[in-house]
Copies of this chain bind each other. A is one copy, B any other.
Amino acid sequence: MTVNGRPQAPLMTNTQADRVKEVARLAGRPSRLRRREFLAEGPQAVREALRLHLEKHDDGAGGGVVVDVYATAEALERHEDIADLLASGGAPIVRMVTAEVLAAMSSTVTPQGFIAVCRFVDSPLDDVLASGPRLVAVLVEVRDPGNAGTIIRAADSAGADAVILTGSSVDPYNPKTVRSTVGSLFHLPIVIGVELEGLTERLRSAGMTVLAADGHGTISLDDLQDASAARRFGTGEPGQDTGGGDFPSSDALPARGSGLEARGAAEHVRSVRLEDPGAWLFGNEAQGLAAEVTEAADARVAVPIYGSAESLNVGTAATVCLYASARAQRLV
């Protein structure tokens, strides 16, 4: 059998084959850690995995992201762009499987015709910090696979330079997380298993302001955005202080309006510049960020809640924060 003129291995039909079981086991963490491989399932994830694989191959870095691709004939016919990628020089050989074999390999009920076994794609923290990052998302004990995936995708959309996960956060190679990144896992550097101890100092040493996203934060994200806009429009420039009265404000900062406290908060808002390189820390779904983490940050920033919601989902909050930074950084 050939695909796009290239010879293929014979069709795999045995759902009980050792290879099928080995692939399926990658849904579990022990197997992933032992083999340093994980599953990309569905056309979108497999496409992005192949693109990264070929990109690395092209730039002489040796490729090696994708170990194996399994596909049904029907899926390959339906997704010509993926068939084209698989026909490129440097692409892994695709193994044709029956829908039953694919289902037996998959962690999902609808693998949509494609599974790729991929090598771990995470980067060392030192490399990321040495690259001069301007926007980084840090997941501190984020435990829900879907939330982690949402934040990775939002970070990618916002043009972040990397996503860092502390050691106690969910494994980004969990199939649910991979799925919910919709390919973004292959778009930007991911750092995993990072020690929380000393992390804020390392981020700061790399030239970034460390912002803790914290529902009980002392600074409203609105105020940071206002201050940034004011600098851009030439009013309230930190160098030429026009006094607290001219400082653009929203109603969302709790400390506002009460003399010294408000002045202190305003000073703090001025010293934290959203347009500067920044690292956002996002915390656990239930507990948020621990006090020692928020205290080590340069600022504790709250996304304002204008309605009656008690809190924001961490994925939602992260999206708003990362987009606020991206916008401020691009407007300078």
Contacts and interface: CB of A to CB of B under 8 A. Distances in A.
Interface of A: 44, 146, 150, 153-160, 182-184, 187-188, 222, 225-226, 229-230, 232-233, 235, 248, 250-252, 303, 305-313, 315-316, 319-320, 323, 326-327, 330-331
Nearest to A47: B310
A184 B308 contact: yes
A66 B326 CA distance: 44
B319 A157 contact: no
A309 B233 contact: no
B233 A156 contact: no
Contact of A316 (B157, B225, B232, B248): B157
A187 B308 CA distance: 6
Contact of A307 (B187, B229, B312): B187
A154 B326 CA distance: 20
Contacts of A310: 44, 182-183
Contact of A306 (B248, B313, B330): B330
Contacts of A319: 316, 319-320
A214 B241 CA distance: 40
Task: List the number of copies, as a whole number.
Answer: 2
A73 to B, nearest CB: 23
A183 B307 CA distance: 12
Contact of A233 (B157, B235, B327): B235
Contacts of A184: 307-309
Contacts of A229: 229, 233
B316 A159 contact: no
Contacts of A309: 153, 156-157, 182-184, 187
Q: Which 9 A-B pairs have the closest CB atoms?
A: A159-B306, A187-B308, A159-B307, A233-B233, A156-B309, A157-B309, A156-B307, A316-B319, A229-B229
Contacts of A316: 150, 153-154, 157, 315-316, 319
A150 B146 CA distance: 12
Given A160-B307, A188-B308, 19 more contacts: A153-B312, A154-B312, A157-B305, A157-B307, A157-B309, A158-B306, A159-B305, A182-B310, A182-B313, A222-B330, A226-B331, A229-B233, A232-B248, A233-B233, A233-B235, A233-B248, A251-B330, A252-B330, A306-B330
**Candidate in A44, A153, A252 with the most chain B CB atoms within 10 angstroms:** A153
Contacts of A320: 319-320, 323
A313 B150 contact: yes
15 contacts: A44-B310, A150-B315, A153-B309, A153-B316, A156-B307, A160-B307, A187-B308, A222-B330, A225-B327, A229-B229, A229-B233, A230-B233, A233-B233, A233-B248, A251-B330
A30 to B, nearest CB: 24
Nearest to A183: B310
B157 A306 contact: yes
Contacts of A158: 306-307
Given A233-B230, A326-B306, A312 B157 contact: yes
A154 to B, nearest CB: 6
Contacts of A303: 157, 323
